[in-house]
Structure 1
Amino acid sequence: MEVWELPTSIVVGGIKYDIRTDFRAILDILKTFNDPEFENDEKWIVALTILYIDFDEMPPHDYEEAREKAIEFIDMGIKDDGKKKPHTMDWEQDGAVIIPSVNRVLGREIRAMQYLHWWTFLGAYMEIGESLFSQILNVRIKRAKGKKLDDWERDFYKENKNLIDLDVKYTEEEQTEIDRLNALLNGQKGV
Structure 2
Amino acid sequence: MNSNILIDVLPQHIKIDNKIYKINSDFRTSMIFEMMINDDTLNNEEKTNIALNLYYPKIPYERDLAVEAIIWFYTCGKREQEASCGNSRTRNSSRKNNRIYDYELDSEYIYSAFLDQYGIDLQDVKYLHWWKFRALFKSLKEDNQIVKIMGYRSVDITKDMSKEQKDFYKKMKKLYEIPKSQTEKEKINEIEKALLSGGDLSDIL
TM-score tier after normalising by the smaller chain length: 0.7 to 0.9
2:166 and 2:10 map into 1 onto residues whose CA distance is: 38
**Secondary structure at 1:11's aligned position in 2?**
strand
Structure 1 residue 128: Cα displacement: 0.9
Q: Return 5+ residue gaps in structure 1 as ranges.
A: 173-191
Matches within 5 A, 1:1-191: 1=3, 3=5, 4-55=8-59, 58-59=60-61, 62-81=62-81, 86-130=98-142, 131-142=144-155, 145-147=156-158, 151=164, 154-155=167-168, 158=171, 161-162=174-175, 164-169=176-181
Runs of 4+ aligned structure 1 residues displaced above 4 Å come to 82-85, 148-154
Structure 1 residue 29: Cα displacement: 1.4
Q: Is the 8 A contact 1:35 1:169 kept in 2?
A: no
Pick the structure with more helix per residue.
1
Identity in percent: 23
Q: TM-score, normalised by structure 1?
A: 0.73
Spell out, residue by residue over 1:41-60, the C-alpha distance to the aligned partner (whole angstroms, 9 max, x if none).
111110111101111xx21x
Q: Is the 8 A contact 1:20 1:53 kept in 2?
A: yes
Are the structure 2 counterparts of residues 153 and 11 from structure 1 closer, same or farther at C-alpha, using a change threshold of 3 Å? farther
**Secondary structure at 1:114's aligned position in 2?**
coil
**Number of residue pairs matched?**
165
Structure 1 residue 152: Cα displacement: 6.3
Q: Which has the larger radius of gyration?
A: 1
Q: Is the 8 A contact 2:100 2:154 kept in 1?
A: yes
Q: Alpha carbon RMSD of aligned pairs, Å?
A: 2.9
Q: Return 5+ residue gaps in structure 2 as ranges.
A: 83-90, 186-205
2:181 and 2:69 map into 1 onto residues whose CA distance is: 28
Are the structure 2 counterparts of residues 129 and 25 from structure 1 closer, same or farther at C-alpha, using a change threshold of 3 Å? same
Spell out, residue by residue over 1:46-101, the C-alpha distance to the aligned partner (whole angstroms, 9 max, x if none).
0111101111xx21xx1111111111111111234389763322222222212222
Are the structure 2 counterparts of residues 37 and 154 from structure 1 closer, same or farther at C-alpha, using a change threshold of 3 Å? same
